A and B are shown apart, each in its own frame.
Chain A
Amino acid sequence: MPTTLGDLPYAPQTGGPAFDRRRFLDALLTVGFVSTAAAMAYPVARFLIPPRTGDPETASAVAARAADLKPNSGKIFKFGNKPGIVVRTAEGDLRAFSAVCSHLDCTVQFKADTAQLWCACHNGTYDLGGNVVSGPPPRGLEAFVVNVRGEGADAEIVVSRS
């Protein structure tokens, strides 16, 4: 047995069969370590991706009671897990859109003075057809179908995907 480090039989071989064996073992070791790393990295990478929560696409929602929505006003309501907006025009027509601004996902609101849909984040405006009037939004708002269910004071505004 060698008694000090200097006596250890450590002599890097160059050339000859010992060299090949060393290279082979090094390669084997590398493959082993890389495989271990991959076997760990793969589940971790998959774990990081959030699973789909399985929220079914909302088909329709009750936006408001018809009696509560005065002419030339709007109301934001919950459509699935995203906001929608329903508007009663000055003439009394009902319109509904997704309230998610097509620019950067802010929530739009109804501006009574201009009778437009307005996004406060970057000053984008849409007309009451959901089309872009001014500002940065690249597209119009998704329009929904509006129906009134029931009659009189209990009538409900039902919004559904077209």
Chain B
Amino acid sequence: MTPLQQTVAWLDERLDLTEVRHFISEKGVPVHAQKIWYYLGGMTLFLFCVQVCTGILLLLYYRPSAAEAYESVQFIVTKVEFGWLIRNIHSWSANLLIALAFAHFFSVFLLKSYRKPRELTWLSGVLLLFLMLGFGFSGYLLPWNELSFFATKVGTGIAGAVPFAGHFLLRLLRGGDDVTGATLSRFYGLHVAILPAVATALVAAHLLLVQRQGMSVPLDLEIRIRQGEGVPQMRFFPDYILRDVLAWYVALALLAALALFYPWELGNKADPFAAVPPGIRPEWYFLAMFHTLKLLPSHIAGFEGEQVGVLAFGAAAALLVFVPFLDRHALRGRRSPAFTVAGVLGLVYLVTLTIVGHYAK
């Protein structure tokens, strides 16, 4: 017996791994034309792990205070060996993660994988997407540079436009009336403690649900299965896992190339009393939202334009959470073209506004 087999036998004697062995040998993954989309979730998970690991490493040198944050990041990228690499990977991986999470989200939406019995998987996934945006927003401020400082001012200002609770939310986010060192402390706590704790629990729930219920199949295929058609299966272990790992390698290669050839700039240290640098705009994944608010007229039906916009975003987010319950057709296993059209329109809207926002003066 090889040492590995010996170890497994040792554990088996004590823990009885029958169920694990059964799971490994029996689990199958349906093979169909749309299966390429099923790798996006795994890639997102891989990047999440990259974020956890590089984030922990950055914590060793990062100092969360207005006086030292910028200098400590500068120290990381200039003095610590491979510090530039760790920081570049963390920044780029954050962006790739959000891009892949969006791709995963839209593919799941358009394939209607949220339909019964996977409503909870969808729910945990949508919440994770929101959490990832929260990670992006809170992490952006941590280097305490000019761009992040003013972007946070604008971003928290948008929270201030929420009707009734706006001022409370703004002070809650900023830790005061203005973006100061107190904001940095808050965002730091959010970024390295609160969000990771919630995200870890949600990722665990999401994965458990996926494993428990198995991969969904596209609606069309499911309809054909009900009519008696067989679906080819692929072994989860090792066939599917190896393909998954291959997808992770693709993500890793992309990440390494970006981190090496496009270093993430640190910029100038934040100065609360300096003028806002021109061309200030949020990270790309907030651009569509940011630009929508810019396009809104100052008053709509007696309300401030910003308030209407923020309410609309809130309503859209709530709709997304409840999609599995709203899509009555998919719930009953029938095609729901209206939701497909809504999904495509939403995607087109986001992409267009992001591009327009990027080139807008």
Contact = CB atoms under 8 A, between A and B. Distances in A.
B233 A4 contact: yes
A39 to B, nearest CB: 9
Contact of B57 (A47, A49, A53): A47
A2 to B, nearest CB: 6
Nearest to B230: A3
Given A5-B26, A44-B57, A51 B81 contact: yes
Interface in A37-64: 43-44, 46-51, 53
Contacts of A36: 249, 252
Interface stretch (B82-90, B107-115, B271-279): B82-90
Interface in B4-39: 26, 28, 31
B250 interface: no
Contacts of A3: 230-233
Contacts of B243: none
A8 interface: yes
A43 B85 contact: yes
Contacts of B82: 43-44, 46-47
Contact of B86 (A5, A10, A47, A53): A47
Interface residues of A, number: 17
A47 B232 contact: no
B318 interface: no
B23 to A, nearest CB: 13
Given A3-B231, A4-B233, A5-B233, A48 B60 contact: yes
Nearest to B89: A43
A24 to B, nearest CB: 16
A1 interface: yes
A43 B231 CA distance: 45
Contacts of B57: 44, 47-48
Contacts of B31: 1
B233 A47 contact: no
Interface of A: 1-5, 8, 10, 36, 43-44, 46-51, 53
Closest 4 CB pairs of A and B: A3-B230, A43-B82, A46-B81, A1-B232
27 contacts: A1-B31, A1-B232, A2-B232, A2-B233, A3-B232, A4-B230, A5-B26, A5-B233, A5-B235, A8-B233, A36-B249, A43-B81, A43-B82, A43-B86, A44-B53, A44-B82, A44-B86, A46-B81, A47-B57, A47-B60, A47-B80, A47-B81, A47-B83, A48-B57, A49-B81, A50-B80, A51-B81
